[in-house]
Every structure is written in C-alpha cells, then in structure tokens.
Amino acid sequence: MKYPSARFGELEIPDSDVLHFPVGILGFEDEKQFALLPFDPNIECPLQWLHSLQNPELAFVVTDPYTYMPDYQLTLTDDERKQIELAPDDPLQALVIVKIPQEYTQMTANYIAPLVINPDQHLCRQFVLTTMQYDTQHFLLQRTTP
Amino acid sequence: MTTYSGGPDMLVLTRKIGESIQINDDVKVTLIDIQGKTVRLGIEAPQDTKIYREEVFLKIKEANLSAADATAFDPAKISQLIKDKLKP
C-alpha cells in the first residue's frame, strides 16, 4: 500500500512489512502502524527510520541497542511478553529511539524504554524497564571504557 | 496547605499510618509514614507486577516527543560517526 510521508514523499509498504503497535507509543497512543525504513537509501548505517503510516509527519530514528551495547540487559515479564504474543523463552528483538541533536556527537538513545518486536506477528510495543541501570538519554557514541 | 482533589474517576480513601489498601487479591499498599507533605508507601505485589513512579512514564513520554521532532540533518556525517564508534 502507498502512504504519504513528509520526509520521503511517498512510501510503498507491502502489508506484510507493516509493524502493528496495538497501544501506540507513549505520547503517541493513536499511532498504531509503522514501517521500518533505511536511514538513507545510499548509505550503509545501523540507524533506521520508524515511520508512522498514519501521520506523514511522524518518524523516529531507531537502532538496535545490541549493536552498541552487546550486554544490554533486556528482560520482560511473562505478562509483558504475552502482550506481543511472545513465548517465555522466545529471544527478544528490540529497537531504541535515537535523538539526534544539532551536535551529532551528542546523539542519545532511550535504553530504558525499548520497542520490543515480535517479528513473526509484526507486533511491537514500547516497554519501560524497571532497572535503574538505564535512562532515556544514553550517549550513543560514548566509548564504553574510556 | 495545598491538596489534590483527584480526578472524576478516582476513588479517594483516607488511611492512617499502618493501615492498608488491598487491590485485587494480591496487591497491598500500606501507608508507612507521613513526614510533613511526604508520604511513604509500602507496596506488596507479585514479582511480575510493574511498579513505577509516575515521573518515569512522563519522562519517557517527553523523550519520545522530543525524539519525534527530528529536524533536517546530514545522514552521511551521522553514519560516519557511528562507523567510527563501532570500529573494533
């Protein structure tokens, strides 16, 4: 199906690639459908766009947290897993929302509220981790050991 | 002293120190102590119950809202910075 996009003009997204967010994203509760797009079609980059298919203006930059932090601690309760139809022992796939300020070196990722995906059902939900270890703004480019 | 009167759908109960509120069969909230305007609450709930301070949710909402406000930027420069960072 075709969707309008402020950033890309028009998006052609097959129905099988639509990601469903049954409860939206915190602050965007009415946005239930998104698609993942390359950050830039001509550049290889671990960043992606999570583009709303309902609001042509709305797109988040997202990335896989494990790329930057291989020991990222993501645990969900069985109840939370059920909300996106995951079994207790299914591996977890996640994306975190990236904020890109004017000074690119200061870009941050929200590690405390990952978007967890059920890739088979194309279901996705933002969960809030109870750990005190993470925050909404982690510097993405920071070296883990200085 | 300012008070909060609560929303239209809010059940408002009065409790003394040491008294509790039972929610469903398995959640118990106890008023532990009062110091001026600060109240300490004790919460007993099953292991997998998620309990957050409301500010955490508000902070995440704010983070989402501000991340959605992506202005024009240079993807090539950003990609290069990430590549440099991920270099072994």
Give per-residue pLDDT as tens, A81-109: 999 999 999 999 999 999 999 899 999 99
| Residue numbers of the domain that contains B65 | 20-86
Q: Residue A32 and residue A25: Cα distance in Å, rounded?
A: 8
A23 Cβ under 8 Å from any chain B Cβ:
no
Per-residue model confidence as pLDDT tens digits over A1-37: 999 999 889 999 999 999 999 999 999 999 999 999 9
Domain boundaries, chain A: 2-139
Residues of B with Cβ-Cβ distance to A80 under 8 angstroms = 50
Dihedral sign from CA coordinates of A29, A55, A114, A77: positive
> Using the beta-carbon criterion (under 8 Å), do A78 and B48 form an inter-chain contact?
yes
Do residues B76 and A104 lie in contact, with contact meaning Cβ atoms separated by under 8 Å?
no
| B5-28 residues labelled b (16+ CB within 10 A) or e (exposed) | eeeeeeeeeeeeeeeeeeeeeeee
Name the strand (E) or helix (H) holding B86: helix B75-86
Per-residue model confidence as pLDDT tens digits over B35-81: 999 999 999 998 777 788 888 889 999 999 999 876 778 889 999 99
A77 Cβ under 8 Å from any chain B Cβ:
yes
Residue B11 lies in a domain: no
By 3-state DSSP, what share of chain B in percent is helix, strand and coil, each rounded to 5?
30, 25, 50
pTM metric for this prediction: 0.83
Residue B8 lies in a domain: no
pLDDT at position A145 is 43
Average pLDDT, chain A: 92
Residue B48 lies in a domain: yes
Residue of B47, B50, B58, B83 to mutate, interface with A, max A Cβ within 10 Å: B50
Per the structure block, which two tokens stand in for B13?
């109960």
A44 Cβ under 8 Å from any chain B Cβ:
yes
Looking at domain A2-139, which of 2.30.290.10, 2.60.40.10, 3.40.109.10, 2.30.29.30 is its CATH number? 2.30.290.10
Residue B37 lies in a domain: yes
Residue B1 lies in a domain: no
Domain count of chain B? Answer: 1
Do residues A115 and A94 lie in contact, with contact meaning Cβ atoms separated by under 8 Å?
yes
Residues of A with Cβ-Cβ distance to B52 under 8 angstroms = 128, 130
Among candidates A90, A8, A76, which has minimal Cα distance to A41? A8
Residues of A with Cβ-Cβ distance to B26 under 8 angstroms = none
> Using the beta-carbon criterion (under 8 Å), do A27 and B61 form an inter-chain contact?
yes
> Using the beta-carbon criterion (under 8 Å), do B75 and A39 form an inter-chain contact?
yes
Q: Residue B62 and residue B71: Cα distance in Å, rounded?
A: 17
Residue B9 lies in a domain: no
Nearest CA distance, A99 vs chain B (angstrom): 5
Residue B66 lies in a domain: yes
Please determine, for residue B88, whether its predicted confidence score (pLDDT) is greater than 80. no
Among candidates A37, A30, A26, which has minimal Cα distance to A55? A30
